[in-house]
Structure 1
Amino acid sequence: MSNPRVTTGTASAFGGLSDTLFAYGIPAACCADGPSGLRMEGKATQLPIGTALAASWNPKLVRELYTMEGQELYRNDVDTLLGPGVNIHRHPLNGRNFEYYSEDPYLSGTIAVASTGGIKDGGAWGTIKHFALNGQESHRFKIDAVCSERAIRQIYLKTFEMAVKAGTVKTLMTAYNPINGHWAASNYDLCTTILRNEWGYDGIVMTDWWAKMNDVVEGGEESNKDTRDMVRSQNDLYMVVNNNGAEVNSNNDNTEESVKEGKLTVGELQRAAINICNFILSAPVIERELVDTDVAKHYDSVPNDQAKYEVFNIEKDNKVMFNSGAEATLEVEDEGEYTIIVNIAFDKSNLSQSTVNVNANGTTMVVIQTNGTDGNWITQKLCKVKLDKGVYNLKLEEVLAGIKVKYIQFKKIPKKNK
């Protein structure tokens, strides 16, 4: 989330996020909330909610509205909107009913095609969600949707089917809930048998944020670390990990371990990678200039006698500690390029989000963003900066309150031999 390779303040990035993948020429694609209009940090466009759109009974008008939405996405370098939501109104107290269309599958499907078709006409893509049977907001991580195959196909999947077969979607998000004991994010019958084999879907499938999965064959206990069975079911993308977290497996998932144990094949991983790359080839990102936004950015120092706060030497101390609050001074004796690593905690659940700017001599050097860590301290690798010899007065500026910063580490990047 808020990845520096894509538009600031958006919900996620995927594709060429690591330096290795980016070096192959794979760009980072961008997605942003939400079903009722584009939302970024500090900026949002409010569209009528899904229920109001369906109540219009006017798919032509809805398509025109969402064509403008697609144009707005395109202008902001967003490749896919995280919406619309297309589940069925099953109960009046469902907290997500506002973004879903109707209790009628055909009406919902007609408006879903109009919405996603409009986004496509405008130059971007929409992500239909939550696949499938997300019938309530409370306990949505655990509630098992026990349902017959006939009802699933004729009622709860019909809207998704209509949008897929109309060719207006290339991105789809699975739900948090299990269906007859198998969590949606690792449900092979949903993601492969029906979606791809029967309906002919050729786009990508992503999880909802911090979803859980269970064994694709046996079912059983669920875990957010079980990316093995997510990949086996042909759910291509796990949303989300810390920025640069995939490089260091920050979520401690079981993908690499499962390949070594023979429980996941390289071919299954390649299949997911192919799906992701094919989407990128069909998205606006492929038209944009391939620019490494994570290249080292230059920041000017001030003279050594202008240190304002507790002083830390970049060569001797290695880390700038924020023991006494939100201010500290960094002293640099040897100019060079440095990778920024932070140690942070946020005493909320992972459904909460917080942001803090790190300002150097009055200019924003880096943005720290995280979901709740339940108070646990975590380490994030952030961007690269160029620092001259001199002094940098660092101040933490809260954007969304809550993050505690223990230290910022500046790790020097060795110079490459010519």
Structure 2
Amino acid sequence: MREVPLTGGPVELRGALDAEVTANGVMPRRLPAWTREQYQNPSVDGVTVMPSGVRLVFRTDARELEFEVLTFTGQLDGDPHPRPTGMLELLVDGALAGRRRAPLGNVLRMAGPGAEQRLVPGEPGVVRFAGLPVGMKTVELWLPPQTPTELVALRADGDVLPPLPDGRRRWVHHGSSISHCIEADGPTGTWPVVAAALGGVEVINLSQAGNALLDPYVARTIRDMPADLISLKVGINIVGLAAFRLRSFGPAVHGFLDTIRDGHPDTPLLLMSPVSCPALEETPGPTTVGPDGRIIALGDPAQVPAGALSLAVVRAELEKIVSVRQARDPHLHHLDGRDLLGPDEVDDLADGVHPTAAAYRRMGKRFAAHAFAEDGPFR
């Protein structure tokens, strides 16, 4: 087994916009380094290093590969077990060739959600994939979407070469946890990855669990990066955190779109509203979690006429914004999120807001059927 450099060599890190050099190796980050000083909440940094859609790509004639990684996962005080670390998946020439549970490494202990974290140090772990096909092949190692993962080492028993140019269109997507897909059954089971595979495109998933709040640094990131297709899924975090009133929400959406259009004036751009979420359909946030583990809305529906936001209000406003802008922006499109997961499927929301792994795969197929159809926005 020969050591392969993780940076400055034949291996490409795709799906990440930054690779932070650490004491152990390399930590992929899904937003560029310059954005870090603008994070108002530490949770943004935490979800940025959760590598949803991030993968190592290279060509090799090796029959055996060895990856050494150091993971970070959480554990609540009183819970005897850390949260599951998720799966590493190996694709060979586009086909799934193996799955391995990511090894347990560092554990972040906390008294409860949002509480101060205490690090329980761990050690890097090794995963191996053996019996790979003979001959030169393209290999992709996909990292778990819910677990920050430092890349420590890559070893192979054969030659490792750079990947061939991808050639596919690049689709950039930004959304909430429902696009980040922490609950997916594996990294290729997130709905954006499922949809990208069906549409024959390469996806860059900039979704931020709990933090899809029209942050200007995200808009500037999308503006400045190569993109052939762009989609934005807006609303659930804004309502759940009561982050805007109607008066400020519309201009914020317009401003986000304006910034992206500064760099991509003619790129197909699909603006999506939230999927179904019974607790917030007619009731504003903020939200909390009830004793049964399901989301509860704390807002007053009587405040909606005064400008409080529910999902129903957000959907209507997003549809109106697209309609108004389409006269001068014919490449802007709209999709009602309920077309991906509707009110008759809320039993697939285990906590009242996040879809199950099976529902994520269904959402990916539905998105692809809409967006990549012959008359679709990403045709």
TM-score (norm 1): 0.27
Instruction: Choose between structure 1 and 2 for higher RCO, CA contacts under 8 A separated by at least 6 residues.
Output: 2
